[in-house]
Amino acid sequence: MLSTRGRFGHALHLPMCYDATITKTRKIFRKKIEIKKITSIFKHMIFKMHHLLKNILNRTLSLIKPMITALLKTLSGPWYYENIYYKYRFHKMSFWQRGLARLFFMPMALGLRLINESIRHRLEIPHLEMPITTRCNLHCRDCANLIPFFPHPVDFDINRLTKDADDFLVNVDRVHRFIIMGGETFLYRELYRLVSYLIQQNKISLVHIFTNGSIIPGPDILQLLQHRKILVTISSFPVEVSPNKLCFIATMEANHINYRVEYNLWRDLGGFNPAVDSNTEVLKHRFANCRSKVCHNFSNGEYHLCPRSIHGERLGQFSPDESDRVIFRDRKNPQVLRKELRELLHKEYITACSKCTGIYEETLSPGIQMGRGTVSNCPG
């Protein structure tokens, strides 16, 4: 028996089993507290682990996200166009055919690129633009190449152009797409000689001609354009501005010429002398977001990153920095030129960006004219 005090001070006599029950209860209580403690420690650990894993995952994602984005951009951007899109004439296919063909050709083209760049160390130029004339029959207010501002438009000397192209090709392993443009390309008087020369060059995969579609080429040129290496692009002018456009397209069809028609709007680069902020950080940002920085231009024997760099200099707008160009004329030294080219490709902006808005969005109606008439020579 166990004696203890009751509520009113009387001695209470409790049985022995009460003591055991208390001890047991205490034990259970202690156990419960311990379990609670362990559970809370465990919960805390899980919370910490979750936090840690989340941090690791976020950090890993922030590290690999730009890499994945860059890879996707590479696989679907300019590289895709040079190595797959133009090569296999995807522009002739329907949307679904293009998608399937893309999946089919991608691994092969990717493998070829890796072998050529990483193992064979070849210098392959994705695409290059060569202006051949500053003559044009249209006077577009928003011409990206500033052609209407040339006071004395001229055709560039054919011998000089082919000699410069020779000097360039001897120093590189391949040019996937060699673009010729104007002014209006079909106004160039020596077009037959120039195109004949370019399609004979083994290092050039595709000769791409841009036109406003207003000049219907003669029979000899049309025959030349049937060559498998030729692609003609008709820019996105409305027929009111380029009234021969439909006739031009029909002529391409009738002569089985590889062609495509653009439908895009234009970007506002600010005309001849735009008032723009030329702060270094602004220039870097403008250049980094500009699409034209991949429109590499080869003119006067020099390699520039953007057509406005060479045209702006011709118009006396500014003098490009020496590091804004690589001179190929009369030079044969692939190692040195490769190094100079690599340095140019790593530039964060060029002098021309201080005379350009570099607006990314395509917002302008194509081909708004500055008041002069158009040429019509459609036989129809």
DSSP letters spanning 91-124: GGS-HHHHHHHHHHHHHHHHHHHHIIIIIS---E
Closest distance between ligand SF4 and the C-beta of residue 323, in Å? 14
DSSP letters spanning 239-270: TTTSTTHHHHHHHHHHTT--EEE----EE---
Does residue 176 touch ligand SF4 according to CB under 6 A? Answer: no
- Options 102, 177, 293, 311; binder of ligand SF4; rule CB under 6 A: 293
CA atoms of 326 and 372, how far apart (whole Å): 37
The nearer residue to ligand SF4, 90 or 149, going by C-beta atoms, is: 149
Is 261 within 8 Å of 92 (Cβ atoms)?
Answer: no
Q: Which stretch binds ligand SF4 (CB under 6 A): 28-36, 81-89, 176-184, 188-196?
A: 176-184
Closest distance between ligand SF4 and the C-beta of residue 93, in Å? 27
Residue nearest to ligand SF4 (CB): 358
Closest distance between ligand SF4 and the C-beta of residue 91, in Å? 20
| Backbone CA torsion sign across 305, 309, 314, 320 | negative
The nearer residue to ligand SF4, 176 or 245, going by C-beta atoms, is: 245
The nearer residue to ligand SF4, 102 or 296, going by C-beta atoms, is: 296
Does residue 182 touch ligand SF4 according to CB under 6 A? Answer: yes
DSSP H stretches of helix in the chain: 16-76, 78-80, 95-114, 158-169, 191-199, 219-224, 245-254, 280-288, 307-314, 334-345
- Options 131, 183, 213, 320; binder of ligand SF4; rule CB under 6 A: 183
Does residue 187 touch ligand SF4 according to CB under 6 A? Answer: no
Does residue 315 touch ligand SF4 according to CB under 6 A? Answer: no
The nearer residue to ligand SF4, 145 or 171, going by C-beta atoms, is: 145
Q: Which long-range contacts (CB under 8 A, 24 or more apart) does 120-123 make?
A: 122/173, 122/174, 123/171, 123/172, 123/173, 123/174, 123/334, 123/338, 123/341
Is 45 within 8 Å of 71 (Cβ atoms)?
Answer: no
Closest distance between ligand SF4 and the C-beta of residue 360, in Å? 9
Does residue 306 touch ligand SF4 according to CB under 6 A? Answer: yes
User: Mask of contacts with ligand SF4, 269-288, x by CB under 6 A?
Assistant: x----------------xx-
Does residue 299 touch ligand SF4 according to CB under 6 A? Answer: no
By CB under 6 A, the residues from 119 to 138 that bind ligand SF4 are 136, 138
The nearer residue to ligand SF4, 84 or 140, going by C-beta atoms, is: 140
Q: Which two tokens stand for residue 77?
A: 């951007």
User: What is the torsion angle, in degrees rounded to the nearest 10, for the CA atoms of residue 138, residue 143, residue 148 and residue 150?
Assistant: -140
Binding site for ligand SF4 (CB under 6 A): 136, 138-140, 143, 145, 147-148, 182-184, 212, 269, 286-287, 290, 292-293, 306, 308, 350, 352-353, 356, 358
